[in-house]
Amino acid sequence: MVELDRPSVKVSFRDLGLVPFAEAWDIQTGYHQQLLARKQALRQGKDAAPLAGHHLLFCEHPPVFTMGKSGKPEHLKLPQSELEELGFTYFKINRGGDITYHGPGQIVGYPILDLEEFYCDVHRYVRDLEEVTIRTIAAYGIEGTRIPGYTGVWLAPDGDRTWRKICAIGVHLSRWISLHGFAFNVNTDLSHFDYIIPCGIGDDDKSVTSLSVEYGQRMDMEDVKKNMVQAFQDVFQCEIKTGSTC
């Protein structure tokens, strides 16, 4: 990774815990609007809001399916009424990508960054988000990789096991300020993916997995989060400020 010739950018980190998708969306958009207002003020030569900084949010969601802008309705296998009876919610959102699942045991990461203070390269941004997960799972002896043409982090075929996706990524940028992010399966109930065609990928040689499945035991979520925050800090060459506002 190319080293950036700039002072370390500060990023405020919050772990929201288990939170409904709509509530996390409101928090994201609130931070996004603060960053946008700050950028506009700076460009107009005005004093910028001192509390409007970069943010990294971690959370888990109650079971929910989200459909990105390029998603196809037929990739949701059950009618919404049946999903609601099973305890799932469903949202159409403005990130890239198709349909995915969020639920307990999954680390959902929402970076809200003004990328003009990092780099203006959306492809590099997605690759860097992938790199964060690759470094995180490497701490547990698991090798993550990429497949050309497929976003996210994958595990290569092993014995009778096919390509397995461990982390999905879908982002949205507005004036180079990021929204949405990644969904990393740690202790996730993978059976919930059976109700969708995950990320619209119906290939027979591709499936989903989790860190607990690959490692062979249930994972300590706090330990995994700690490693992931460190990986984010290293990849983005920033300074993570836990529980603070930058």
Kindly state the greatest CA–CA separation across the chain: 61
The C-alpha atoms of residue 66 and residue 71 are separated, in whole angstroms, by 9
Place of tokens 């330990």: 223
Q: Hey, what are 147's tokens?
A: 């497949």
Active-site positions?
Answer: 199
Nearest 5°: CA angle at 193, between 189 and 197?
170
CA distances from 61 to 139, 152, 184, 216 (A): 25, 19, 12, 24
Strand pairing category for 177-185 and 206-208: unpaired
The C-alpha atoms of residue 44 and residue 102 are separated, in whole angstroms, by 40
CA distances from 210 to 20, 106, 178 (A): 21, 9, 26
Whether 237 contacts 4, CB under 8 Å? yes
Q: Which residues neighbour 110 within 8 Å (Cβ) at sequence distance 6 or greater? A: 24, 28, 55, 56, 57, 58, 59, 179, 180, 181
